[in-house]
Structure 1
Amino acid sequence: MTIHAYRAELLSVGQDPRDAPDAVRHEADGLLVVEGGAVIARGAYADLAERYADVPVETLPGLVVPGFVDAHVHYPQTDRIASHGEQLLDWLDRHIFPAEKAFVDRAHADAVAAFFLDELLRNGTTSALVYPTVHEQSVDALFEAALERRMRIVSGKVLMDLGPEGLRDTVASGRAETEALIRRWRGRGRLGYAVTPRFALASTDAQLADAGALVAEHPDVLIHTHLAENVHECAAVEARFTEAADYLDVYDRFCLVTARSVFAHGIHLSDRACARLHESGAGIAVCPSSNLFLGSGFFNFGQADRHKLRLGLGTDVGAGTSFSMLYTAGLAYQAALAREERLDPFRALWLATAGSAALLHIGDKVGALEVGQEADFAVLDCAATPLLARRTREADLAERLFALQILGDDRAVARTYVLGECVWQRTQP
């Protein structure tokens, strides 16, 4: 296999820096060596140059970080991003459910999936946990496009037998289509499957119970759903499930709270629910952009840290207003500060890379650019805009990273690499 070497400033945060003081790994002048799509060496250029003297070296101008890992995003909502005027439940009815009905058309699903994945790559995102729609072909379209791009994508048909007409399955059809998709896609490329009940209100008790049974029968899948996002949603869940202790307990009663559960949002959680999340090993995909856009609230990092919850970061497009994980990390800082918590820029990078990867159970493969991991990475340009260039001119590493998170967006991504090969490059500085 051909060996490629890249000389650049390298930065990764492989563990939560709150727990591991040495989690930040930085080589101001580093060398990243890739063979067969995997990292085989990483370190200071001065230490590795002689060992790889016969390997051609490409110098990358910018800050190289692991490819971003989006822990929660909806590809069918791409065309409804920035839809005005509603909180969660009304927003779904007015904007999202009508848009998702169009995915009964495979050609439409193919077109949106291709645009969506290219947009992820343009923003430096190389892995993601993705909602499709209730339609089986929406998963096929996404997985085929991801396979072509060699991206690490996890997804699964949405289960919603209480959905509106045109977005409604049954317990039987939901199970049959889910099992067919698992058989069709398991083990192909870098793809993974997630059993995906939309949220508690969209399924009957029978379907929620069957989702739990599906998970038990396929222990390699993830569980991906929404939890405690919006006060009106929480009130509706409480009114329907009167015997449940709280929103999380609804899922727990149907065996959907496990170490492989990824719950999006988790803004309005009781301490009891947080303790149960910790006990189970389940985690939360924090989605600050959509939480602000829909008026849902601010994630409570202090509560989550007290309970030692597993966390990742998600854009949640289309309620989220940007595909940029840099921008989303900046909003996470602001959400934390609204509750008088200070999100360190290195911890924000961890959330957007290794933290999300661990949440998706792919942390052994991506997220830290360590030896043995897949060589997915982004090249960030601290001078992408005149303001960024001015702000970072004399800045140290932490200041530059924070400026990228607050002032940066897709323009700050100069290149994106998948398995060591450049798959996107900005054409204009």
Structure 2
Amino acid sequence: MTGSGTLENQVREMARLAKKSSASLAPASTEKKNSCLLTIGKLLDAKREEIKAENQKDLVEGKKNGLSAAMIDRLRLSDAVIDSMIDGLGEVCNLPDPVGAFEDMSLRPNGLRVGRMRVPIGVVSMIYESRPNVTIDAAALCLKTGNSVLLRGGSEAIHSNLILAEIIREGLLQSELSGDCVQVIPVTDREAVNHLLQQEDYIDLVIPRGGEGLIRYVSETSRIPVLKHYKGVCHIYVDSEADLEKAVPIIINSKVQRPGVCNALEGLLVHKDIAETFIPTIVKALHKDGVTVKGCKQTVALAEGVEQAADDDWGTEFLDLVLVVKVVDSVIEAKDYIQHYGSNHTESILTENYTTAMQFLSEVDASAVMVNASTRFNDGGQLGLGTEIGISTTKLHAYGPMGLTELTTRKFVVFGMGQIRD
């Protein structure tokens, strides 16, 4: 048997076991699932030195392979990161369990009661890069919603992910749940991803999380439904009736706090009526924080140190301290610009005009649309989901951060009293 065949069989067997375990996990009580999550949290705390030792192997290898400082930062499992993983497990425990909830019950003329019930999706596969803490986040959300999960992290985090997988498995077994409910693909061979994406008999949903290249590859290769977002090209429109004192810190936070994430600001649109006053102010503030500002001709003329934006700068996800600025004539032009260059991720308007704000909210198409708030709030934790497994910019079946509810689906339930169909 070839090595490729052996790997294919290994991945298929893991998927089969995940499917089998999902049948026993789905009916587990909320109390049992929460107890399991808390047990995993205790094990993370007790084994933090082992976790850091395995993580150190990844850090050493990553530096040797030339990973950027930003990637190394994402990869590092410090005590603070481990504490945050433990806190995240507790937060998920405290969230309402959507599984089994009845919704939209109605009484039909023939006396049937018809409604919907929240149920697990089944088996979720997540493919992600760097950030080994995602292993815990994904496991927590899937376990709470009764889903088995197959995780395939990046090769740069293999040691970290495998130790976390061992801890999760131990927590499952201590809680009398199947250890196969959460599995990490234990090899770095990229061919494992191809095999994983063919397991349509066992896996119900694939969620890729990482760079645009990874997500496009998964979407093009998978025989299983994929929830995705390719990139986060997020904008703020500063309306003519914006409170400009509020506007400066909102824009700085959106761009500067963490420029390398998908909800960071990439494009700033400024109404022409306030451009002469506001653009020099915001450019100065951006420069103070090390942001390279590129702009349209009007922006270049209004402020010092602004580079002329090239054609391919508009709509670019810089993931860095770089921002494009454009002067627009109206909220309609801002909306048209966003429709052309946006990525359906996060859009925000700064205005004190209620009618303009509501127009923007209703007409701009994005997974999160905000009024007088930083784009950085498009995050599961910030929006009250506890944590998230990713942000979907597709619309089937979820749009925006995916928390517990988004990891369930709904089936029809019918209560009768002997009715038969005519």
State the TM-score, normalized to the length of structure 2. 0.28
Higher strand share: 1
Higher helix share: 2
Which has the higher Rg, Structure 1 or Structure 2?
A: 2
